Structure 1
């Protein structure tokens, strides 16, 4: 398959591209790569489909931790535009442009317990999971859509000086994306462990 990995310069995106690379043709996309796209700029997503592709994986999305008391209306809108609405726009374009049997895999997020500053992220991630569940029922031509919702990544925790054992290794997270791209799940939310 020819697979676009959006966010391929980030920790998860690099791991996903490396996991898919030996078995598929991977097009690595980021805001700074040869093929550029930005979820906050839906028009830039058109470039992902300049040539035919079989699957799209989005690892580009994140919502920073921000205390509720410090959130501004513009920050809320920016995070909604990027992670939520950007991935919805990507999925919509993919549904129009992927061949029969194509696959879209998005990125959500999950935490086992509420975390200070995670309210907006929780809103966005719950929205993505609901969108994927419902959109799967509307797709035709054998198209599939799923979402991977990792919690903390071990390597991220370690880079922050925290105990990496509290997270999931990036290689395990990358395998969850690979399984969704190569499998037959549709409308699923996968929490890698």
Structure 2
């Protein structure tokens, strides 16, 4: 299979690439340090990426910036960071990518535990995560040519625990390997419209 991984230079992205590249052709995409540079907030950049890669069997997204901060101080502009960076970015990768994905191919998006288990300062991120899950569920019944779509919802990672422990009090972090395996399940499995929770 020919698979594009967007966000391939991040902690989750690297783990996904390591699993998939053993048996498949993986093209890495990220803002920098990857095979192809792509900015998820730019329609032109997404279109250019697809023109470079041509036809593919799967698109995997392990990226998307979201705003974190107290609700009482959050501005509409702050919230737009999440909408542009994670919600619209992923939706546009699907909308612009349909014609580039082969029959029976797939999209895998990323959500996150905060939509189900909220934390302080996470309202904006939780909102876009929930939006992505709803989009995936709805898109699954309309995608043409047997193209599948799923999302993966990771918990906070063990590998990032030192950085985020104060935000996720009482959570049990998960190893990135488990999260990457959920992405593999989405790409190589047969299900569609699912949100794989790695909690």
Q: TM-score, normalised by structure 2?
A: 0.91
Question: Pairwise mapping of residues 51-130 of structure 1 onto structure 2 (< 5 A)?
Answer: 51-111=54-114, 113-130=117-134
For residues 21 and 165 of structure 1, the distance between their equivalents in structure 2, rounded to whole angstroms, comes to: 31
Gaps of 5+ in 2: none
For residues 128 and 160 of structure 1, the distance between their equivalents in structure 2, rounded to whole angstroms, comes to: 23
Distance 1:28 1:164, change over 3 A: farther
For residues 23 and 164 of structure 1, the distance between their equivalents in structure 2, rounded to whole angstroms, comes to: 38
1:22-74 residue CA offsets vs partner (Å, 9 max, x unmatched): 01110011001341111111211113322221110000113142111221211
* Residue 110 of structure 1, CA deviation: 1.1
User: Does the residue aligned with 1:91 lie in a helix, a strand or coil?
Assistant: helix
Is the contact between residue 61 and residue 109 of structure 2 (CA under 8 Å) also seen in structure 1? yes
1:143 aligns with 2:147: yes
Aligned length: 193
Is the contact between residue 38 and residue 49 of structure 2 (CA under 8 Å) also seen in structure 1? yes
**Of 123-132 and 35-44, the range deviating more from structure 2:** 35-44
Give the match for residue 181 of structure 2: 175
Is the contact between residue 16 and residue 175 of structure 1 (CA under 8 Å) also seen in structure 2? yes
For residues 73 and 64 of structure 1, the distance between their equivalents in structure 2, rounded to whole angstroms, comes to: 11
Q: Aligned-residue CA RMSD in angstroms?
A: 1.8
Higher strand share: 2
Give the match for residue 9 of structure 2: 9
1:102-147 residue CA offsets vs partner (Å, 9 max, x unmatched): 1000011113532100111111011100000000000111100110
Gaps of 5+ in 1: none
For residues 169 and 62 of structure 1, the distance between their equivalents in structure 2, rounded to whole angstroms, comes to: 21
1:23 aligns with 2:31: no
User: Does the residue aligned with 1:137 lie in a helix, a strand or coil?
Assistant: coil
For residues 189 and 34 of structure 1, the distance between their equivalents in structure 2, rounded to whole angstroms, comes to: 28
Is the contact between residue 35 and residue 48 of structure 1 (CA under 8 Å) also seen in structure 2? yes
